[in-house]
Structure 1
Amino acid sequence: MNKILKYGAIALAGLIVLVLVVVGIVAATFNPNDYKPMVVKMVQEKKQRTLNIEGDIKLSFWPKIGANLGRISISEHKSDKEFAAVESLKVSLALLPLLKKELIVDTIYVDGARANIVRYEDGTTNYDDLLSEDESESEQIKFDVDGVIVTNSAITYTDLQAGNEIKLSKFNLETGHVALASPFDVATDFELSAKQPELNIAAKIKGNFMADPEQKHFVAKGLDANVQGDFAGGKEVVVKLTGDVDARPENMEFLVDGLKLAMTGNFDGAKVAVDLVAPKLVVQEDEVSGKEASLSLTREKGSDSVKANLVLADIKGSPKAVQSSGISGDIAAKQGARTVQGKFSSPFSGNLEQLIFDLPKLAGNLDVKDPALPGGAMKGDFALKLHADVKQEQVKSDFNLAIDTTKLNGDVAVAGFKKPNIKFNLNADTLDLNKLLGQPSAKAEKAADSGPAKPTDLSALKDLLLEGKVSIGSILYDKYRLTGLNMGIKADGERLNVSPFAVKLDESQIKGSFGISRFAKPIYHFDVDIDKLDADRYIAKSDDKPAAADNKPATDTPIDLSALKAINADGELRIGWLNLANVKSTNVRIKLKADDGVAQLAPFSANLYEGAMNGSLQVDARAIPQIAFKQNMTGIAIGPLLVDAINNDMLSGKGNLNLDVKTSGATVNTLKKSLNGTAGLNLADGAVKGIDIAGTIRGYKDKLSSLKGQASVEGDKTQKTDFSEMSATFNIKNGVAHNDDLNMKAPLFRITGSGDIDIGNETIDYLAKPTVVKTLAGQGGAGLDELSGVTIPVKLTGTFAKPKYALDFAGVATAMAKKKVIDKVGGEKGEAVQKLLDGDAAGGLEGLLKKKAEPAPTEKTADPATTPPAEEQPASKEDKVKQKLDKLLGF
């Protein structure tokens, strides 16, 4: 406000000076308008600004010199853009008093004055050229103005360096007689707006004022000010100030009479009202006296409210030693079902000359009522002493607070008011938050949806200098107990550090350090060690019950990773023993780096279930969520892991697992159906549970001849198929994992297979091909000799929740028949028949038609009695093959 008035005065003074120059130049002529072109040219040549004088200039010379101008304007330096203008200006002054260096002016009339003041980024202004470079301090001239009337005027101040703009508009001013060191009446109204801080007000001020800059003496009597608008962080704020003030600040002399301040407004959705009453205060060289002063505050938001009153009793003494019988106050607050009432009081003393004040014993009590508290109520007492040295900008305080079993004590010291440097110590044996705050409700624990998360702006911390220690023996909250809390806190304007930090949460000992930097868009730093942590103990169980089974598809669940956009973090967490989602692990190490919506855990390693894991996880939440996960597990006992993780023992064994997948999507189903990558496993000495292939085949062996299709049954978890080795790799594309290299060795079988596992739709379509080994010692091998070497197709189908398997017994019967044929033929011909049955017709026929080498025939004498009959026609090749097959197959 002072700057606006200052620069506005400069602009106005410049116009007046220009007017007086114009008057001086044309004073010797009878028609000053003939000289307007010359004046315009002079301004252009001297200041490189364009002066525009519209209308006629009317002058008077005796006994007063004066001018009455119409619209006049002047441009920016070397520009046509308007710098300042006035619609009309009328001024006249007595001529003879000028000879005595006295300026006696009649009423000044100004209408429609405008000025555009600019400070550029380099600190220069748009009026620098109007100031004389060799200004010397001139002898002060006494001035006397009969009055000033300004109507409908405005000033705009643009600060490009600070990124601010201040506008004074609709400015009206009317004064009485104005002279140095003499009181004068003022009535003004105006509108004022600014960007930093945000401001938009309308003001009306009137009163009788006196200002004597030489003596530093300022007086306001009959002050009546009314300001309305949006300012001080509030909306629809109304401030009214009345009273009389007579001040000589350098001499520490003040007279206050009937001062009243009333403010109402809306701050953060709450209605706030403040009232200050100071009936009488006298501060003179050797006397200080005052009547009782009071301050009241009311804040209401919905059904919640706070009301506080502060009273300063009569004061007396001298500026060096002022005393009061005391300060007292009371407070009444209501928040939800909780009510708080309290009272406090303290003696007061001070030194006004040195601005030192003391509250040696501020003591009070609190009475809290809340159904959530144990017993529905609690009482407390507090005491503190306060010492303030305003000149040195220092405040010190010791305090004690006792509420039920909670007892706090400590001290705080503040140095500097503009940028406080705070040092403190806080100690407590027990801090029972359940008794102080009440038991947390389930509703309170659920965070409200407040829309997309944004990084918290902690810019206020850049002005905070803080250093202190906190030591609390025990903290109780809900069902949790923290013990041995010790931490150091330090803030230097660039970073806030909590180090060292140590606390025991239930059975978990936590040590480490935390930090925050880049406050406008915070980065959170941490380095934490936890000896053991049962995380499941602190993860709230869902109250949602599963929907009844029906034929309707399950509702897709959206994935909201927007919280990552609000987190910028860099740190490492180490846990000796961890239980999370019922999965136990040791030597856990997680390194997190999150920035602008991308979070990466690398490494993400641990020892678990007789083995180890090492991998990484990256989540990109900037647009459509994208997830990349890599993990290598070695020497893992898969059975106990599956039991703990998903309560399913479908597979057992020990070995290696690896996973390298990526996916993207905004819902759970989309993520599953967009899964791409690879996976693999290699297990030893385990079992597939839910199916006993040997037992199943043995149960159906005697019925093979009557089976003509497939027998499909649901898995039985009491059954299992043992294996000594199992390996498989999966190529995952669009949520479907394809495998074609299953290799499993069981005591009774050698199993291969291929098929798909549809992760997105949670279905299975897989064909396993167990082949009965020739050596039948092992699981269920007795009685299966006839199936030795036979491949038995097993079709796995169904869903993850209800898998099914089907053995193709008709195919088994066919395989057994083939086996009997091959065994009966035996030798090379058996192999040939095998080829023929497997579809290799050429190789099979070639083997069957192959003749063995015969010995040379022995000559014999013909026996007439055995003369052969007439020669028969030779058989064709096809007939020969048919005859051989008939003989071989027993047809």
Structure 2
Amino acid sequence: MNKFVKIGAIIVAVLLVLVVAVAILAKVLITPERVRSTVLPIAEDALGREVQLGDIEVSILSGISLKDLAVKEKDGGENFVSADEVVLRYKFWPLFLLQVMVDEVRLENPRIRVVRMEDGSFSFDDLTGEKSDAENAETAEPQPADSSDGGGAPINLLVSTVRLSGGELLFIDRMINAEAPYRYQIDELDVAARDLSLNRAFPFEVSCRLNGSQLAVDGQADIGRQQGQASIELKDFDVSGFAPYFRDQLPGKLGGLKIDLDLDAEGGMEKVVSKGSVTLKELDLVLDDLKDAPLRDATIRLDYDVAADLAADRVDLASSRLDFNGIVAEASGTIASMTTQPKLDLNLLVPGIDLRQALNAVPAELVKDVKPLDPAGVVKVQAALAGTLEDPMKLLRTAKITLDDVQATAGGQRPVIAGEIEIEGDKLSSRDLFMKIGDNRADIALQAENLFGTPIRVKNSVTSERFLIDPLLAGPAAAAAADDNKSIGTEGKKAPAEEIGPFDIPVQAEGTVKIAEALYKGLSINNFDMAYRLVDNVFTIDKMTGEMAGGTFNNTARVDLRQKGLVYQTNIDVERLGADSFMQAFFPKARGTVFGDLSLDLAMQGKGTLVETIKRNISGKGDFALFDGRITGSGLVEGLSQFLSLDELKEIQVGQAKGNIVIEQGRVKLNSSFTGDRVKASPQGTIGLDGGLDLSLNALLAPALAQKLDSKGQISSFLADEEGWTQLPLKVAGTFTSPRFALDTSGVQEQVKQKAREEIEKKVFEKLLPKDGAEGEQDSGRQQLKDAVKGLFGR
């Protein structure tokens, strides 16, 4: 920019030399020969260049016209400055008062040629250099006598109009590429200035085409006070042609950019005030750090009102508005110490971002993971920044973020969040923040601190009067099915799934969830209360309590997020829940099969999130009990009824059932017993997590059922106990839904042996032992007989 200022100064100097020459001519007899002999030496001496003139037309009454003016390059080759005609029009009568009143100075079709050499020097550098005193003395010409020495009164020079039309400036840059220099050209240059003066402001106008773009400048200049005012308008200026000058400073590759300017500027050497707009359009830019997300045909517009105090090194931003493809941000405030260490004190406002519009405004690759969520709603941001740029994260002093129906689609649901989030320093808090999912509403109280450090500490509480859980789970199920379909490859095979994790979340959190009433598949969960925390990437549920189905539950859990596949453990404590309601809600396929009050105390631990991984790694143990129960309609009960051909077993009354389970290696080891009015049993064995069964039922049938099963008593007499209940050892295989029953023959043999032993003992005792013997003798005889029978059956 300074180089072009110097060019302008040189042009002005040429004009002033010509004007001074006219002032001299006004004191002598004006003839073309005298003009040529007077003007050329003065101009050549002042410029140090050869100056050529064509025809000279002189009118004593009106002015002078110089044809084909040319100022040569230093080597005398090309023209540095040339003009088809230089016209000077003046008023005649003021000459008698020793005043040269110039009506007009006009340059027709001036041409300027500027060259930057390979070493960075310019072709006009010799015109801007200062000469030594000796050089000045050697080149000095005799000066006309000063009027104070008797040469006459001083001459006043007043210029009414200076006009330049049809001008051209050609800039050739050999420094970047000497063999193929860059060429830039200003065409159609028109300049007009009126009422020129050195001690007051005068108006001027400039218009030209800069590399094909239209530039217009209209303003006033005050040379004496070194101040000015200008309105600048530039249309469709193609910046890409100047890329060689800033390519290395760009953090990427510029494909295209055009600039529009429409602004006013006013000021001087110490203060400048400017207002207007700058528009960057047709912007194509690929950033080095975001090569996959290029800017294509982007538009950025800046409207501003700014005052710069150059002496105080300070900028006051009265207002500014930045619009990036429809995303708007506004700022006002001050920036101090601009040239040393900028210190900001700014107020920022994002009046309202429409999220859908914002996603369309930024590069598609940058938001490809967000677009499927289809975010919508409006976000408004007010913020205050203060401080230096040394630590940008600490610039934020206060902020208020307003969420207006912000929503997104996730897991088949579309939650809506609204309310305010306030930031002060490194602390955050919420106000009137809530989330809605369908008919559900939850109020959220959120607090956080150490926002710009590690870890961020968060506290929150979620409360709701009534919450429907069914709609929440319906969405994820559909979404999971869709994901399953998407994961099938071109050959019809599913893409291999991977375990999630590990996670490194720089957050330390604690919070509570309280729901007065939650509804899940018709089951009402009352007074739900959960407390959780996240510390060092370990998520812990300290308590999860509530009331449902006439009973209570109290659970805890711990999940280690630091390991791939996650490591977790949980404790479940259920007291006297209605079994039917519980089954209907959590095991709908088994609804209507189990009734009564269910209690469970279970501890489990495992690793993995994939089904096969869970089966391999899950383990646990616990106790369960069922009181005043009834079992009907299940695969086991139906299977047992069919196997024994006893319709009475299609429904089994259970006075009490209890037992314990051990989970390991993908199977559940069961040891249990239950009593009922028709059946007693002690199921033992294993149940696979896939539903596979390997159980010994050890059933006892009530006398009435045993009689029906064995009407002649040929078998049951050998299997009945003292109370008449008949033992029926059974094995169960298959699955829950399709069980297979079989008689446990080894169990039957043992029971028959035992029964035969008891009968033989009884008969032998009656025949061999004396009825009137002493009691001690009878006991001794019985023991001897028992040992004998035991030995017999043992063989």
**With structure 1 as the length reference, what TM-score do the two structures score?**
0.45
Q: Secondary structure at the match of 2:454?
A: coil
For residues 392-445 of structure 1, the C-alpha deviation after alignment (integer angstroms, 9 at most, x for no partner) is 799xxxxxxxxxxxxxxxxxxxxx9746565768679xx684998699999954
- 1:807 matched to which residue of 2? 742
Task: Specify whether residues 356 and 789 from structure 1 end up closer, same or farther in structure 2 by C-alpha distance, changes over 3 A only.
Answer: closer
- 1:669 matched to which residue of 2? 612
Task: Specify whether residues 444 and 602 from structure 1 end up closer, same or farther in structure 2 by C-alpha distance, changes over 3 A only.
Answer: same
Could you tell me the percent identity over the aligned residues?
A: 12
The within-5 A match list for 1:111-510 is 285-289=226-230, 292=233, 309-313=259-263, 315-316=265-266, 326-329=276-279, 331-332=281-282, 350=307, 355-358=315-318, 388-390=332-334, 418=343, 422=347, 433=356, 444-445=371-372, 461-468=393-400, 470=402, 472=404, 474-475=405-406, 477=408, 485-492=418-425, 494-510=426-442
The answer to whether the 8 A contact 1:556-1:667 is kept is: no
Tell me whether 1:751 sits opposite 2:687 in the alignment: no
Match of 2:461 among 527, 540, 554: 527
Task: Specify whether residues 345 and 433 from structure 1 end up closer, same or farther in structure 2 by C-alpha distance, changes over 3 A only.
Answer: closer
- 2:481 matched to which residue of 1? 542
Q: Secondary structure at the match of 2:510?
A: strand
1: CA distance, partners of 2:537 / 2:464: 27
- 2:85 matched to which residue of 1? none
The answer to whether the 8 A contact 1:770-1:791 is kept is: yes
The answer to whether the 8 A contact 1:598-1:618 is kept is: yes
Q: Secondary structure at the match of 1:542?
A: helix
Q: Which amino acid aligns with 1:752?
A: S
**1:630 CA displacement:** 0.9
**1:636 CA displacement:** 1.8
The answer to whether the 8 A contact 1:536-1:579 is kept is: no
Task: Specify whether residues 480 and 639 from structure 1 end up closer, same or farther in structure 2 by C-alpha distance, changes over 3 A only.
Answer: closer
Q: Which amino acid aligns with 1:739?
A: L
Match of 1:796 among 725, 732, 736: 732
1: CA distance, partners of 2:653 / 2:175: 91
Q: Secondary structure at the match of 2:726?
A: coil
Q: Secondary structure at the match of 2:583?
A: helix
1: CA distance, partners of 2:547 / 2:174: 74
The answer to whether the 8 A contact 1:832-1:848 is kept is: no
**1:728 CA displacement:** 0.8
**1:674 CA displacement:** 3.1
1: CA distance, partners of 2:607 / 2:344: 48
- 1:853 matched to which residue of 2? 772
- 2:663 matched to which residue of 1? 732
Q: Which amino acid aligns with 1:574?
A: K
Q: Which amino acid aligns with 1:727?
A: K
- 1:167 matched to which residue of 2? none
The answer to whether the 8 A contact 1:574-1:589 is kept is: yes
Task: Specify whether residues 226 and 465 from structure 1 end up closer, same or farther in structure 2 by C-alpha distance, changes over 3 A only.
Answer: farther
1: CA distance, partners of 2:308 / 2:495: 73
2: CA distance, partners of 1:391 / 1:817: 101
The answer to whether the 8 A contact 2:530-2:544 is kept is: yes
- 1:690 matched to which residue of 2? 635
**1:655 CA displacement:** 1.6
1: CA distance, partners of 2:626 / 2:743: 27
**1:488 CA displacement:** 3.3
Task: Specify whether residues 289 and 545 from structure 1 end up closer, same or farther in structure 2 by C-alpha distance, changes over 3 A only.
Answer: closer
For residues 129-153 of structure 1, the C-alpha deviation after alignment (integer angstroms, 9 at most, x for no partner) is xxxxxxxxxxxxxxxxxxxxxxxxx
The answer to whether the 8 A contact 1:433-1:477 is kept is: no
The answer to whether the 8 A contact 2:635-2:739 is kept is: no
The answer to whether the 8 A contact 1:790-1:815 is kept is: no
1: CA distance, partners of 2:481 / 2:626: 35
Task: Specify whether residues 501 and 226 from structure 1 end up closer, same or farther in structure 2 by C-alpha distance, changes over 3 A only.
Answer: farther
1: CA distance, partners of 2:620 / 2:582: 23
**1:617 CA displacement:** 1.1
Aligned residues: 518
**1:682 CA displacement:** 0.5
- 1:654 matched to which residue of 2? 597
For residues 119-168 of structure 1, the C-alpha deviation after alignment (integer angstroms, 9 at most, x for no partner) is xxxxxxxxxxxxxxxxxxxxxxxxxxxxxxxxxxxxxxxxxxxxxxxxxx
1: CA distance, partners of 2:561 / 2:539: 8
Cα RMSD (Å) of the superposition? 6.4
The answer to whether the 8 A contact 1:691-1:719 is kept is: no
Match of 1:766 among 686, 695, 705: 695
Tell me whether 1:605 sits opposite 2:545 in the alignment: yes
The answer to whether the 8 A contact 1:330-1:344 is kept is: yes
Task: Specify whether residues 577 and 854 from structure 1 end up closer, same or farther in structure 2 by C-alpha distance, changes over 3 A only.
Answer: closer
Q: Secondary structure at the match of 2:473?
A: helix
The answer to whether the 8 A contact 1:289-1:317 is kept is: no
**1:573 CA displacement:** 2.6
2: CA distance, partners of 1:630 / 1:615: 6
2: CA distance, partners of 1:435 / 1:340: 15
**With structure 2 as the length reference, what TM-score do the two structures score?**
0.50
For residues 782-808 of structure 1, the C-alpha deviation after alignment (integer angstroms, 9 at most, x for no partner) is 9799674211122122346x5523131
The answer to whether the 8 A contact 1:536-1:581 is kept is: no
- 2:157 matched to which residue of 1? none
Task: Specify whether residues 630 and 357 from structure 1 end up closer, same or farther in structure 2 by C-alpha distance, changes over 3 A only.
Answer: closer
1: CA distance, partners of 2:317 / 2:546: 60
Q: Which amino acid aligns with 2:596?
A: G
**1:280 CA displacement:** 12
**1:629 CA displacement:** 1.2
2: CA distance, partners of 1:812 / 1:652: 31
Task: Specify whether residues 306 and 646 from structure 1 end up closer, same or farther in structure 2 by C-alpha distance, changes over 3 A only.
Answer: farther
Q: Secondary structure at the match of 1:541?
A: helix
Task: Specify whether residues 803 and 304 from structure 1 end up closer, same or farther in structure 2 by C-alpha distance, changes over 3 A only.
Answer: farther
**1:850 CA displacement:** 2.6
The answer to whether the 8 A contact 1:432-1:476 is kept is: no
**1:307 CA displacement:** 5.4
**1:326 CA displacement:** 3.7
1: CA distance, partners of 2:174 / 2:623: 81
2: CA distance, partners of 1:679 / 1:728: 9
Q: Secondary structure at the match of 2:580?
A: helix
2: CA distance, partners of 1:743 / 1:427: 67
Task: Specify whether residues 791 and 500 from structure 1 end up closer, same or farther in structure 2 by C-alpha distance, changes over 3 A only.
Answer: same
For residues 727-763 of structure 1, the C-alpha deviation after alignment (integer angstroms, 9 at most, x for no partner) is 11123344443233x120122011113212344x753
Q: Which amino acid aligns with 2:682?
A: T
**1:508 CA displacement:** 2.2
- 1:30 matched to which residue of 2? none
The answer to whether the 8 A contact 2:607-2:618 is kept is: yes
Task: Specify whether residues 813 and 792 from structure 1 end up closer, same or farther in structure 2 by C-alpha distance, changes over 3 A only.
Answer: same
Task: Specify whether residues 495 and 445 from structure 1 end up closer, same or farther in structure 2 by C-alpha distance, changes over 3 A only.
Answer: same
1: CA distance, partners of 2:547 / 2:444: 22
Q: Secondary structure at the match of 2:500?
A: coil
Task: Specify whether residues 818 and 658 from structure 1 end up closer, same or farther in structure 2 by C-alpha distance, changes over 3 A only.
Answer: same
Q: Which amino acid aligns with 2:462?
A: V
Q: Secondary structure at the match of 2:682?
A: strand
1: CA distance, partners of 2:546 / 2:619: 25
The answer to whether the 8 A contact 1:792-1:811 is kept is: no
Structure 2 unaligned segments of length 5 or more: list them: 1-115, 129-170, 177-205, 207-212, 244-249, 285-291, 375-390, 775-780, 790-795
Q: Which amino acid aligns with 1:690?
A: G
2: CA distance, partners of 1:434 / 1:311: 26
